[in-house]
Structure 1
Amino acid sequence: MSNSFLPPPSRTGTRWIETSSTSPAARYCWITSAPLTYRGRVQVERTVAGLHNHPILRRVFHGYALLFLLVSQKVSRDQEYEADAAAARLTSADALVSALRELPVLDAAWDHYLAGYVGWAANAGVRPRAVVGGFQRMLADDARAETLSQLREEDPQEKPSRFDSHPTFAQRKAALADFRPSQHPADHRPATALLANADDVMERATEAMLSGNLTSMPALPWEEITPLAGQAMVRPGATQAHQVATSLLGREATIDGVIALLDDSTRFASALTESLGETVEADTAAALLTMAVDAYLAAAAVTSGRLSWQLNWGGDVQLIDYAGSVVDFGPAVRAAIENSDVAALRTQLGKVGVPGDAGIESSHALVG
């Protein structure tokens, strides 16, 4: 079986220098034109964008830009094939295909982590001190690991385009088909094992990636972020419910007062939607009231010290009691609104020890 790369590596845009070594891994070394190609693309795009007041010239340069992009992206794809060939010779095609299959899985996980966890922290005005550490903890969660394992079972599905800078996974996998399987046992250690101080390097690299307001936010460990971010998460709904209930009651709202208003949930829901400046159907108004009251009860219970927030790396943040059991007021609140029966809700609050006179007093109470 040949060790050649299929399709044969194109040397377009690449300067090749043959070495004296006969090793397949070191048969050639090359100096790629990738930086020049990239800078060329940027300059062409900038030139076309700068001609917005010159429609005729812009049309001419736009055609040139498309041609340049087609050629330069082809060069980029060839360079990726060449890099794959070098990697396969140094390690094995199996290892490279495995890594290529893993990239979209980790990419999806990273996007979810940034939006669902780092974004959750940022909503509270803080950022995690250990960004990569949190990501690793999420990946290690059993529920997450099972989901990621399912994603790995299928090859990435991509539709090729002449404007792609990289070949698709299927194209790269096919190009590696003629490489001999590895004769060495698989090494399942993470790539970070190659770094002398992996944790420090990864955190510094991540810090360099942070942008915008995140860079100026206080950096805290996840254990300190959780109570802040949990309260920040429910703050909008809780504050809205508190303000509307206080107005309807004519006094500072507490849990007892909010629950009493559920005896006439239609009036409560109408006042809530009016405060939001919304005109909605009755079922939508009931759903909005359910979310607002649920948020209020969670915020008040945490403020009272009876419940706390727990970070769940396998799903949503959880409200827990002293025993560590998950508490969810949502179903009881929904039943109280739909059936005008608050008995089950009062029972649930009593079981977890949340007093009826607990409240949030003001939105400021929600930051602690």
Structure 2
Amino acid sequence: MTTAFRAALAFSLLAGFYVLAGLVVAAALFFDVLLIIEFRVGVLKPAIVLTLAAAALVQAIWMVSRRKPGEQPGLAVTREQEPVLWRTVEELAQRVRTSPPDEIRLVAEVNAAVSEDTQLLGLRATRRRMYIGLPLLQTLTVDEMRAVLGHELGHYSGAHTRLGAPVYRGRVALLATVQGLARHRFLQRVFAGYAKLYLRLSQAVSRRQELEADEFAVAIAGRLAMGEALRKIHGTAAAWEVFMADYMSLSGAAGGRPATVFGGFHALISDPARQAELAALAERPEEASPYDSHPGLRERLAAIALLPEPEHVPDPRPATTLLVDSAIAAQAVEQSIWTPEAMTTLRPVSWEELVEQGVYSSLNADALRDLAVAGQRVMASPEPYLDAAFEALQRGQRQALEAHLHGLGWNPGEGMLAVVLARALEATLIRHGEARWTLSWSGPARLLFTDGEEVMVAEYAARVVADPSGVPGLRDWLADLGISRDYVPA
């Protein structure tokens, strides 16, 4: 089945979706008119059901059709700002026999992409945009970057982007319709089945288009450059996921944001221990799905290996040479990550401070406060002394403590109290200057005493919870550290 035929079939299915919706509306109108002409009890139920379903359908389609495009991500760069990058893109556009983009935007993503604003279901193009991920410029060579840019321009040359916008809008409309029919199970199942068929077919078209665009990339930079680019992107994407989940997620937790985002990412991917871990992540077997928009890495590499090798002069320089000043570009793109509110309310801090305060805020602060409050409620103490929780535990009030912690939002479970106690003890040490969370690019942040020894209180807390006779020893340990029994967490 050719790509053109698949695309035509996808458009036919998209048109069929609106025809199907129109049939539901027409059926609702038919039963409503029939009910008005001659009231029958047997007609009343289908009339009500179809009318409500038709209303939900029309509302979902109307909401999607009225939805306006969101703000464009990243930073737009002009020819004057980045002349080398623009000349490279325009030269490659000539190579693949297409018009260059009207706009180039640098984005904080491990990705490159193109889009095209269209009218009349993709028959008329209005504005082209190219998005280039700064992490790609930081990790690829010029040769590899040219392959990636050639791939994206290949989407223009193959008219792939003309199909993209209407196909995407159809996908959104179908999914919104399925959600809008939540109260109409039968119709929801009908439209859900139709949506699955449409998604499978449209995504199959997308996968074929990616392989076609790879042919343009190889024709420009060769099999080796494109293959290496795909491998690096695959590995860099895995590293970016780790970076976002384990480090960037701390932003805002203590009123701070990293002063240098890409500096932190560079430190992560440069750490020897992390490099081994990230290499293992990149080697994980891929799970293929008929709903994937891109073929798997192995499939793409196998297809590239069969393409003819062009004559070209290799350029192993780092891709950052395509930028006037990569540091200034990185700083500008970082500014685009944050909302205006975040820029004004979150302090730019070092990664060391962000980790120290962010991990404490997200992991320890609630545990310390909630354990003290739970102890106060159980023991009816005048203040939320942390020691009140110890006293409750020593007096056999574990279940009461756990009940109050559950009421404060902690998930009940066998080890819940031990977890809260361990985190509260860590927080107490931090608040009294005995320990601090320490940044590590090799793995999770480590809680260290001031002498550099790692704090490990989880097993100790579990033993005290299991055997409350250990509470006096816990009190003595804290007293030796200068932490009094009347300590009230702020």
Q: Give the aligned partner of residue 333 of structure 2.
A: 205
Would you say the 8 A contact 1:93–1:180 is kept in 2?
yes
Displacement of 1:76:
3.4
Instruction: Give me the whole-angstrom Cα distance separating, in 2, the residues matched to 1:99 and 1:151.
Output: 17
Give runs of aligned pairs for residues 1-368 of structure 1, distance below 5 A. Answer: 28-30=96-98, 31-45=157-171, 48=174, 49=176, 73-152=203-282, 154=283, 156-159=285-288, 161=290, 163-178=291-306, 179-180=308-309, 187=316, 191-210=319-338, 217-221=345-349, 222-233=351-362, 234-247=364-377, 248=379, 250-252=381-383, 258-259=389-390, 261-264=392-395, 266-267=396-397, 269-277=398-406, 284-285=413-414, 287-339=415-467, 340-342=469-471, 345=474, 349=478, 354-357=481-484, 361-362=488-489, 365=490
Would you say the 8 A contact 1:301–1:358 is kept in 2?
no
Would you say the 8 A contact 1:300–1:360 is kept in 2?
no
Comparing 175-184 with 299-308, which one deviates more in the overlay?
A: 175-184
The structure-2 alpha-carbon separation of the partners of 1:168 and 1:359, relative to structure 1 and needing over 3 Å to count, comes to farther
Displacement of 1:317:
2.4
TM-score (norm. length: structure 1): 0.72
Output one character per residue of 1:70-102: Cα deviation in whole Å (capped at 9) or x when no partner.
665455334322332232233332332233233
Instruction: Give me the whole-angstrom Cα distance separating, in 2, the residues matched to 1:67 and 1:335.
Output: 56
Instruction: Give me the whole-angstrom Cα distance separating, in 1, the residues matched to 2:315 and 2:329.
Output: 25
3-state SS, counterpart of residue 295 of structure 1: helix
Output one character per residue of 1:218-260: Cα deviation in whole Å (capped at 9) or x when no partner.
1422233233213312111111111122342725455666555
Structure 1: which 5+ runs fail to align?
1-7, 14-24
Displacement of 1:275:
0.8
Output one character per residue of 1:101-151: Cα deviation in whole Å (capped at 9) or x when no partner.
333333233223222222223333433232222222222333322211223
3-state SS, counterpart of residue 454 of structure 2: coil
Q: Give the aligned partner of residue 136 of structure 2.
A: none
Would you say the 8 A contact 1:241–1:292 is kept in 2?
yes
Displacement of 1:336:
2.2
Give percent identity, aligned residues only.
27
Q: Which amino acid aligns with 1:218?
A: L
Q: Which has the higher contact order (CA 8 A, sep 6+)?
A: 1
Instruction: Give me the whole-angstrom Cα distance separating, in 2, the residues matched to 1:306 and 1:211.
Output: 36
Output one character per residue of 1:42-93: Cα deviation in whole Å (capped at 9) or x when no partner.
332355556969x9x9999999977876665455334322332232233332
3-state SS, counterpart of residue 97 of structure 2: strand
Instruction: Give me the whole-angstrom Cα distance separating, in 2, the residues matched to 1:196 and 1:361.
Output: 55
The structure-2 alpha-carbon separation of the partners of 1:124 and 1:34, relative to structure 1 and needing over 3 Å to count, comes to farther
Q: Which amino acid aligns with 2:278?
A: L
Displacement of 1:299:
1.7
Structure 2: which 5+ runs fail to align?
8-92, 99-156
The structure-2 alpha-carbon separation of the partners of 1:333 and 1:84, relative to structure 1 and needing over 3 Å to count, comes to same
Instruction: Give me the whole-angstrom Cα distance separating, in 1, the residues matched to 2:475 and 2:251.
Output: 32
Displacement of 1:160:
5.3
The structure-2 alpha-carbon separation of the partners of 1:190 and 1:257, relative to structure 1 and needing over 3 Å to count, comes to farther
Instruction: Give me the whole-angstrom Cα distance separating, in 1, the residues matched to 2:219 and 2:234.
Output: 23
Instruction: Give me the whole-angstrom Cα distance separating, in 2, the residues matched to 1:263 and 1:333.
Output: 13
Q: Which amino acid aligns with 2:299?
A: Q
The structure-2 alpha-carbon separation of the partners of 1:95 and 1:360, relative to structure 1 and needing over 3 Å to count, comes to farther
Output one character per residue of 1:180-210: Cα deviation in whole Å (capped at 9) or x when no partner.
49998894x6544543322332343344345
The structure-2 alpha-carbon separation of the partners of 1:358 and 1:32, relative to structure 1 and needing over 3 Å to count, comes to farther
Q: Give the aligned partner of residue 4 of structure 1.
A: none
TM-score (norm. length: structure 2): 0.56
Q: CA RMSD in A?
A: 4.3
